[in-house]
Amino acid sequence: MAQPILNVRGLVKRFGGLLATDHVDLTVQPGEIHALIGPNGAGKTTLISQLMGELKPNEGTVELAGQSLDALPTARRVGLGLARTFQITCLLPDYTVLDNIALAVQVRQGHSFRFWKNVRSDRSLRDEASTFLTGTGLEPRENELVANLSHGEQKQLELAIALATQPRLLLLDEPMAGLGHAESQQMIKTLRGLKNQVSMLLVEHDMDAVFALADRISVLVYGRVIASGSVDEIRQNPEVRTAYLGEGDELC
Ligand SMILES: Nc1ncnc2c1ncn2[C@@H]1O[C@H](COP(=O)(O)OP(=O)(O)OP(=O)(O)O)[C@@H](O)[C@H]1O
């Protein structure tokens, strides 16, 4: 098997007496969409924050394409190809769609936020930024202020911003959260279209989306990975049904 793009071994995060992640082992293969599911409070967001270097683990190791990230701050991890989206969108509301993406392009190019006036005047920066709108459905909205976007459009924009850093691995924290049916379908289509471009770790509660997108699924309960496997293996796993859904519930 190819070298995993992400290799997590024995990752632990304690908050006082609470084990938010409990010796988590996880791999994401190149080109894979690996879904991470689990009940509220299972530790999914905590795990993503540890991968990004926003939270320091108590134990364990994280490698991106064979390179250890353990001693690296978040900015270096982004430089090596990690990007995340957030459960609650994190955008600049008084700037346009294109401004928000151009800023991410500029940061990737190594410029500091202090020079960000260029974002509104630099033609090549704006041209490059607009390429990340392709397939998001936001193309006609590039000059709209973020504050005027729907929730679904903001989620699409957040994804475009993450892509503008040209990641090798995208960590998606509930991209479907708060979306209506049509918006969820658009997001599924967008993510499917990205599959050959970037590997993904997809944290998601919407099981229709998970089953539509995932190559493999890992199930986190009380900080522990209780199962990992193909969609069919996870659908049929009795421990997953009991721990995650409750006895007798259908996993779909
Ligand atoms: N900064 C923190 N300080 C103390 N406890 C925390 C902190 N962050 C998270 N926790 C706790 O760690 C556990 C895991 O939380 P986390 O947000 O990672 O779960 P989650 O699986 O992402 O949940 P959800 O699906 O609701 O987003 C929870 O019990 C939460 O209350």
Q: What is the pLDDT of residue 249?
A: 46
Length of the chain equals: 252
pLDDT value of position 203? 96
**pLDDT given at position 241:** 82
Pocket around ligand 1 at a 6 A CB cut-off? 15, 18, 20, 38, 40-46, 87
Report pLDDT for 58. 97
Helices (H), the chain: 44-52, 74-80, 97-108, 123-131, 151-164, 181-194, 207-213, 231-236, 238-240
What number does the ligand 1 atom closest to the CA of 21 have? 14
Predicted pLDDT of residue 35: 98
Domain ranges of the chain: 6-245
Instruction: Retrieve residue 107's tokens.
Output: 């940061």
Dihedral-angle region of residue 65 (phi above 0 means left; psi in -120 to 50 means alpha; beta otherwise): left
Q: What is the pTM of this model?
A: 0.90
Cα 203 to Cα 74, 106, 111: the distances in Å are: 19, 28, 30
Are 44 and 63 a contacting pair, CB within 8 Å?
A: no
The dihedrals phi and psi of 50, each to the nearest 5 degrees, come to -70, -40
Atom 24, ligand 1: residue with shortest CA distance: 40
Question: Which ligand 1 atom sits closest to the C-alpha of 46?
Answer: 18
**Distance between Cα 46 and ligand 1 center (Å):** 6
**Other beta carbons less than 10 A from residue 230's beta carbon:** 12
Q: Distance, CA 41 to ligand 1 centroid (Å)?
A: 5
Local mean pLDDT, 10-residue blocks, the chain (252 residues):
93 96 97 95 96 96 97 92 80 89 82 61 87 88 94 91 92 93 92 91 94 96 95 90 61 42
Domain 6-245: CATH architecture, name and number where available: 3-Layer(aba) Sandwich (3.40)
Q: Phi/psi class of residue 82: alpha, beta or left (left: φ > 0; alpha: ψ in -120 to 50)? A: beta
Looking at residue 39, the DSSP 8-state letter turns out to be -
Tokens of 108: 């990737």
Q: Which residues have a Cβ under 8 Å from the Cβ of 57 and sit 6 or more positions away? A: 11, 12, 13, 21, 50
Q: Ligand 1 centroid to 68 CA: how many Å?
A: 25
pLDDT for res 252: 37
Give the sheet arrangement for strand 18-28, strand by strand.
18-28, 6-15, 59-64, 67-68
The pLDDT of residue 33 is 97
* Top mutation candidate among 18, 47, 52, 58 for ligand 1, by most atoms within 8 Å of CB: 18
β-pair partners for 35? 202, 217
Nearest CA to ligand 1 atom 7: 15
**Residue bearing the CA closest to ligand 1, atom 4:** 15
- As for the ipTM of the complex, it is 0.97
Closest-lying ligand 1 atom to the alpha carbon of residue 49: 18
Ligand 1 centroid–CA 73 distance in Å is 21
> 């010796």: which residue's tokens?
23
C-alpha distances (whole Å) from 184 to each of 87, 153, 178, 244 are 14, 11, 9, 22
pLDDT tens digits for range 72-99: 999 899 889 999 887 666 788 888 999 9
Q: How many CB atoms lie within 10 A of CB 127?
A: 12
